[in-house]
Amino acid sequence: MSRSVGFVLSAAMAAAVFVTAPAHAATTITEFSKLPGTTGQEPAAINDAGVAVGSATVDGKVRAVRWDTDGTVKDLGGPADAGFVRAKAINSTGVVAAETSAPGLVAVALRFNLDGTHTVLSSPPGHQNTRVTGIDDAGAVYGWSFEPSNLDTWRAWRWDANGTRSELPLPAGTSSSQVNAVSPNGFATGWVYTAGESTRAVRWNPDGSFTLLPGLPGGGTALGQAVNRHGDVAGQADIGNRSRTVKWDRNGKLTELGDQSYIVSIDGNGSVVGTVNYEPVLWSTENEQRTLPWPDGEYIGRLTGINNAGVIVGYTGYESVSPVRAFKWVVS
């Protein structure tokens, strides 16, 4: 794999756009099926075929689950001695990336294969906590880890289809990195940090290079949180004491979308989903911001993903307040 370094894009390319969507769109909300004994469940991702994955608490134990297009829900299994298993992402073919507990470790990466087997992926030496954030269509799993004695040293990783782990390429002098999302064709995004500098948003490209993304003019920290197959990235950037929701197009042009949000996904058309003050929000391809409804009787939760058909997944509730329930939204 090539390790060439991408160019640093100019912050002068930033643009601000604030558009409110018309309120005439119809939204259909459907609750996902539950396994017997389920007391709470959260979808984490949905692929273009409409298959969703996530986790469910079943008889007191956290299990990785998959919801098929016909509404069927299935426990994916996992290591017999696992204290928990959480499905985090699914690719176009149905291969699932997950994380699980392991003896002596807080969490490790896991892949569920199409034949029903699973593969535990290696953790870096000394790193006891690995978090999984995506999987591409080649079956490569992405995530990050840190060494407990040095919490400032975070590392972004890729495990290929054979399970070989490699660190994502970094700018010279980088002390920490985190990958937050990956596209089906191998774009990834997250952040990198160099001592004495602001945290920078980064896009890792399928050819093995990386591109540093600009922050807001006069701003500081910027983070990439979602990426699509064209290399468009959504995330957040700080200016002064404020954090703003932003989107970078494939050429690195920065557009400010609005107030700080919890961005989770961007589809192939450039639509972005996230949560603003616990309200579910969709930004259209024209950057129109639309607040979606919660299901009847619900008032708190988070969106977690969108596919290229515009189907959105998320959950409502909060463990200490109300039961956690899994839903999908279809906006027309």
pTM for the predicted model, two decimal places: 0.90
Q: Write down the pLDDT at residue 150.
A: 67
pLDDT the model gives residue 222: 96
The pLDDT value recorded for residue 260 is 82
Q: Which parts of the chain sit beneath pLDDT 50?
A: 1-24
Contact 324, 42 (CB under 8 A): yes
Sorted by where each starts, the structural domains of the chain and their CATH numbers stand as 5-331 (2.130.10.10)
Looking only at Cα atoms, what is the longest distance across the chain? 55
Burial 27-51 (b: 16+ CB within 10 A, else e): eebeebbbeeebebbbbbbbbeeeb
Residue 241: predicted pLDDT: 84
Structure tokens at 28: 């259909």
Q: What is the DSSP string of 218-248?
A: T---EEEEEE-TT--EEEEEEETTEEEEEEE
pLDDT at 152: 67
Summarised one tens digit per residue, pLDDT across range 189-231 is 999 998 878 899 999 999 999 999 999 988 789 999 999 999 9
